[in-house]
Amino acid sequence: MAILKVANLGNPILRIPAEPVKNIQAPEIQRLIDDMIETMREYHGVGLAAPQVHRSLQIVTIEAEPEPDESTTPSAPTILINPRIVSANERLEEDWEGCLSVPNLRGKVPRHTDIEVQAHDRRGKLLSFPATDFFARVIQHECDHLVGTVFLDRMKSLETLTFLEEYGRYWARHEDEE
């Protein structure tokens, strides 16, 4: 396994739609998945999409804890290949997001609180499951990468855009007090 270079905002790979994976069992795809997991962990991310490591493929790795009542959600790390969000509730919740491709910045992004996801796992098995709250947020964030969107594009206002250090100093403390 290897730690891969993460593409930063401005790299064109982050703005083009990723290609579907045709042969999930191909050794190079399986190796890429392992490398993406290692890269995500190395940089303390909760999710990583293949375009972020310079591969225009519809692969997402996630290591965020699903909600306790989501017994049908795959266990971590979650691998989603050719994922699609097939439905989402109308309720949006604004919360903080960051991104390995937009280092040291955070901002509030509105996301659906409940979604239904279809994808294939790394063995090619079709998955269909609900996701809520933080897990749903991470899936939506990573699926955005597969269509050339970054979290900054989804922000309603740039007023909450902040450097990570300032987030910890001012915003995180304020959020804990509420």
Question: In this predicted structure, what is the pLDDT of residue 56?
Answer: 98
The domain at 12-177 falls in which architecture?
A: Alpha-Beta Complex (3.90)
Question: In this predicted structure, what is the pLDDT of residue 55?
Answer: 98
Of residues 94, 92, 100, the one with CA closest to residue 164: 100
Q: Where are the domains of the chain?
A: 12-177
Q: pLDDT, tens digit, for every residue of 16-31?
A: 999 999 999 999 999 9
Cα separation values, 52 from 29, 98, 176, Å: 15, 13, 31
Tokens at 35, concatenated: 């490398």
Question: In this predicted structure, what is the pLDDT of residue 76?
Answer: 72
- Evaluate if residue 154 carries a pLDDT over 70: yes
Q: Say which residue the tokens 């290897």 belong to.
A: 2
Give the angle subtended at the CA of 39 by the CAs of 37 and 44, to the nearest 5°.
95
Q: pLDDT, tens digit, for every residue of 63-83?
A: 986 555 554 444 579 999 999
What is the rounded CA–CA span in Å between residue 107 and residue 164? Answer: 9
Catalytic residue (one of 142, 165, 177, 178)? 142
Question: In this predicted structure, what is the pLDDT of residue 119?
Answer: 98
Confidence of residue 39 (pLDDT cuts 50, 70, 90): very high
Which residues in 123-139 are b (16+ Cβ under 10 Å) and which e? Answer: eeeebebbbbebbbbbb
Q: Is 142 a catalytic residue?
A: yes
Question: In this predicted structure, what is the pLDDT of residue 65?
Answer: 63
User: Mean pLDDT, to the nearest integer, of 134-151?
Assistant: 98
User: Mean pLDDT, to the nearest integer, of 35-50?
Assistant: 97
SS3 percent helix, strand, coil of the chain, rounded to 5, is 35, 30, 35
Q: Determine whether 49 is exposed, middle or buried from the number of CB atoms within 10 Å of its CB (0-12, 13-18, 19+).
A: buried
Q: Where are the alpha helices (DSSP H) in the chain?
A: 27-42, 133-145, 151-154, 164-166, 172-177
Of residues 64, 144, 61, 135, the one with CA closest to residue 102: 144
Least confident window among 34-48, 50-64, 67-81, 137-151: 67-81
Of residues 11, 20, 28, the one with CA closest to residue 102: 11
Question: In this predicted structure, what is the pLDDT of residue 175?
Answer: 64
Q: Say which residue the tokens 């396994």 belong to.
A: 1
User: Mean pLDDT, to the nearest integer, of 104-117?
Assistant: 98
Question: In this predicted structure, what is the pLDDT of residue 92?
Answer: 97
